[in-house]
Every structure is written in structure tokens, then in C-alpha cells.
Amino acid sequence: MADDWSPDRYLTYADERGRPFVELLARVRAAAPRSVVDLGCGPGNLTGLLAQRWPDAQVTGVDSAPAMVEAARALGDGVRYEVGDVRDWNPADRVDVVVTNATLQWVPGHLDLVRGLVARTTPQGWFAMQVPGNFDEPSHTVRRELEQERVYRDHLRDLPAPGSYDAATYADAVRPLAAHVDAWETTYLHVLDAAADPDPVFTWISATSARPALGALEAEPALRERFVAELKERLREVYVPVDGRVVMPFRRVFCVAGR
């Protein structure tokens, strides 16, 4: 499957994607950390906020997509960026603050990984995570139904499928390792401009949840074009514009653990 993580497309809704990160960060009570790591940093537009909050810390952004890391390095924000997989991340020294935002949903059964990340913080360290929890919304179910149609399913077998747990499950997972646990869920109602983009929900998911299918179909351009056209049409039927705007509910799950 081609690597289709596009920094430009991902940043189309940068403000909407960034709000959960800001609200997550607000619950981290670290006063003067020396080391801060953002696992799954993407194009780095949010990682820079960590450097702004803790200017004396060494801030590192890690992402598995070279295109994202390249875009992040171009920011020149004083953050060190490197290519790496969150599943393999194992620093030589413990870290004061570990943040992972909208990344762990791509790791199946990631509760053990979450516990391992908490364990890699210092005795006074902090771990903060956020994952989407909207996988029952039409933005996902419509796409999955289309992927299972006969014309596509042989091309789209065994695709990575994002998934997450509820806030209580994450809290239970980290509680044995933490003195302070804060877990919650928020459903955002994103108002998307359908006048500027007649397919705003498709634009949103094409940078994230639909990326595996779109990448798998790159070798079949005609079939990919058909898939995109059908997906857009079905999403328009569900997300109907009102006064030129589409409202897209988006549930997100948060967990912060202070050791």
C-alpha cells in the first residue's frame, strides 16, 4: 500500500483537529519538565505548542511517516523531529512528559502499549493521550460498507482499521501506574463549509480513516476514481448541508496520567 499521509491534506482542518490537543494539554500539570515527547506528531503544527509551554524542555516529535517528519522539520520551531514507530519507541532514559494525540487508534489492542508508555515516564512524569471514538458514525460506517462491495473487497482486504476504547477502560489501564488519573470523552460538532468544498467530510476522512483504502487502490486508478465518487455521493446523502454548512459529530476520548 502506498504511503498516502499527506501533510497538506491533513492540515485542511487544522483548527478542528488541533482543539482536542489543546484541551488535552491543559490537563497536564507538569511544571518544569526537561524532556517532552510527542508520539505521532504528524506535520508538527501542534508539537510546537509543547515547546511554547515548556521552553526549557527538550521537545521531540516522532512520526512513522517520513513526509510528516519532513514537513515538521521545515517549521524550524526548535523541536527535534525523527521518524519512528510508537510501537517500537523505547528511549534510553525515561521522559518527563509523553503525549500521543490521534495516533494509538491505529495500533490494535493498544492497552498494553499505553501501560508501557506510562512506565517510560519519570517517577514524577505525565502521560497524556487522545484518540477518536467516532467509529460508529457514518463517516466510518459508510466507508466500510463500500469497501465490502464485491467490486472493491478483493482489493481492500486486511486494511489497517482504526479503533479505540472508552475513557473508563483507559483509566483502568493506567491507574495501577499513576497517582493521578483524569479520563473523559467529548463529542465535538464540527461545522464544515460545504460552499467552499461540496465534499467536506470526504476531505476530512481522506487524510485519515479513508487513507488505507485510497492508498490500496492507487495501483488501479479507474477503480480508485470510482470508489472516491461513490464514497462522496454516499457521504453527501448522510451529511446534508444546511445553509451551506455540514455538521459532523466527532467523539474523542482522553486520558491523562500523572505518576
Compute the distance between CA of residue 187 and CA of residue 73 in angstroms, rounded to an integer. Answer: 32
Show me where the domains of the chain are located: 7-258
pTM as predicted: 0.93
The answer to whether residues 61 and 72 touch, using CB atoms and an 8 Å cutoff, is yes
Whole-number pLDDT of residue 13: 60
CATH topology of domain 7-258: Rossmann fold (3.40.50)
**pLDDT, mean of each 10-residue run, the chain (259 residues):** 46 76 96 97 94 97 95 94 97 97 96 98 98 97 98 95 97 98 97 95 93 95 98 98 97 98
Whole-number pLDDT of residue 213: 97
